[in-house]
Structure 1
Amino acid sequence: MGPLPRTLELFYDVLSPYSWLGFEVLCRYQHVWNVDLQLRPTLIAGIMKDSGNKPPALLPRKAQYMTQDLRSLGQHFQVPIQFPKDFFSVILEKGSLSAMRFLTAVHLECPEMLEKVSRELWMRVWSRDEDISESQSILAAAEKAGMPAEQAQRFLEKISSPKVKNQLKETTETACKYGAFGLPVTVAHVDGQSHMLFGSDRMELLAHLLGEKWMGPVPPAPSARL
């Protein structure tokens, strides 16, 4: 019997492209590193409000850098990121409240589908420049992820329920208590201690904390590591 897996909590919002990068890396490494990866749908707007932070793209020079940065990181991480054409409308006007409530409903009742549905929502907004605020768009993402239409509709109907709304609020508050000021946030629980890491560029440090080997954003297949 091997060692028990360490727990990693990933707090993320599909409105955050850097969350997508961290999400894909941790999904790739969860079995390589023997960790229990727990996905935590979180509302980035709540994090920003609580911390007093502002979206980096509101500063023109940061926005210019971010466009170039994500293009390079997408290639490096092998994640098909493309900037939305109307970036400010997507980020500041439409937001992700409905999408994150939908993912919260999935998390509560069908957690085995959470990874795939989350990925499809990122694909819509950050790869194909499609809307994620409209109900039909959310349903389309869920169905593309392999969820039956009837089940997706049932989850959509629950996004205004107190249970779902409170769960998303509680998860966001938990991230804030860990010290989050943006997303993604990875919390590693190792040897009775919790370590909060911000961003998608702390994976080498995460490997160090876990006592594991970092093999780049796309680890080789098991046969190639022998």
Structure 2
Amino acid sequence: MDEGGAGFAASMPRPEAQRSADGDVVNRLKRPITGHEGGPVAIVMAPTFDEAGEDIGATRFMAGIANRTIVEQTHRDIRAFRIYDGPSEAHRHVLARDIPRGPGGACPRRKEMIEFFFDCSSPFTYLGFHEVQRVAAECEAPVIWRPILVGGIFNTINPSVYAFRANPAPAKQAYMIKDLADWARLYGLTIRMPPTIFPINTVKAMRACIALEPEGKLVPFAEAVFRRYWSEDQDVSSDAVLAGICEEVAVDPDRLLAAIASDAVKAQLRRNTQELVDRGGFGTPTIFVDGEDMYFGNDRLGLVRDALSRRRSPSPAKQD
């Protein structure tokens, strides 16, 4: 557990269960959380409501939060608040929302969540990063972006990647290049494989994604990193290329380069990477639906879509 986390967890305000004007259960904090402007918010953990519409998750708070920065991501009627610099534990994400009743006052339907662990060094992750946004929009599911450093995973639990690079099977290598081209054409992307520098050191780019998430710039920045590396064959490990990307997405390059050198950002990237390993991941992209249902690879996004659809429309109960 991170030093200083226990003290903050102990001081977390407890919720008060209330009902809104239309009868929905809403859990309000007795006082604001430090680091969030705008007053008290509703704090619940998904899944929140049982079949009777009663809250079952409002008191499930995380322990060991060392940093109190809370960031709001809005997706339709759901607001996902990410707590940074917490421990390497699953389910660090707190969901805060005002959930509407269905027709006739039906119980509220919970929203599913996608977690997307990624490193821009992978061409298949470029494909997945692009397509998961479409899947999320279709399924009305918020995406929690989780930048990682996949080299650290390969070094510790998946060294077979390096063995394949050193001694590739020619037929498999040729098919992989064709497969990439097929997927890229399907998605309307350009991927040049292999790029001049491969593999690439993306540690600065991934730290930048961590640093930019609080201001809502992670997605455009990561998209630009993917495009510059995989489509335009630029060296995204260099400060000059990263500075150019900053200008493209309206970010001060000097401020960002200073941020990615901070201990807090470095530590968060390490924690994200270790968390993926702890949760059974072994590469990029890795996708979780509702925190536990894991999928690996761009080509599994059809299964992610199906998993989200099944959760939204559960099978009818069996008749006796």
TM-score (normalizing by structure 2): 0.59
Aligned residue in 1 for 2:258: 157
Aligned residue in 1 for 2:273: 172
Aligned residue in 2 for 1:90: 198
Secondary structure of the 1:202 match is: helix
The CA deviation string for residues 76-97 of structure 1, in whole angstroms up to 9 with x for no partner, is 12222222442xx330xx4211
Report the Cα offset of residue 50 of structure 1. 2.1
Q: Tell me, yes or no, if structure 1 residue 75 matches structure 2 residue 178.
A: no
Distance (whole Å) between structure 2 residues aligned to residue 185 and residue 143 of structure 1: 29
Secondary structure of the 2:144 match is: strand
Identity %: 27
Secondary structure of the 1:39 match is: strand
CA contact (8 A) 1:14 1:96 kept: yes
Secondary structure of the 2:113 match is: strand
- Flag as ranges the 4+ runs of structure 1 deviating above 3 A: 55-58
- RMSD (Å), alpha carbons: 1.9
Distance (whole Å) between structure 1 residues aligned to residue 112 and residue 285 of structure 2: 19
Alignment of 1:19-30 (within 5 A): 19-30=125-136
Q: Which runs of 5+ in 2 are unaligned?
A: 1-99, 103-108, 311-320
Aligned residue in 1 for 2:153: 47
CA contact (8 A) 1:99 1:132 kept: yes
Report the Cα offset of residue 188 of structure 1. 0.7
CA contact (8 A) 1:11 1:40 kept: yes
Q: Which runs of 5+ in 1 are unaligned?
A: 213-226
Distance (whole Å) between structure 2 residues aligned to residue 204 and residue 31 of structure 1: 14
CA contact (8 A) 2:285 2:296 kept: yes
Report the Cα offset of residue 5 of structure 1. 2.2
**Greater mean alpha carbon deviation, residues 6-15 or residues 28-37:** 28-37
Report the Cα offset of residue 31 of structure 1. 2.2
Aligned length: 201
TM-score (normalizing by structure 1): 0.82
Aligned residue in 2 for 1:206: 304
Larger RCO (CA within 8 A; separation ≥ 6):
1
Distance (whole Å) between structure 1 residues aligned to residue 229 and residue 165 of structure 2: 16
Report the Cα offset of residue 60 of structure 1. 4.2
Distance (whole Å) between structure 1 residues aligned to residue 261 and residue 250 of structure 2: 20
Give the number of the structure whose residues are more often helix, by fraction: 1
Q: Letter of the aligned partner of 1:68 in structure 2?
A: K
Q: 1:128 aligns with which of 232, 241, 245?
A: 232
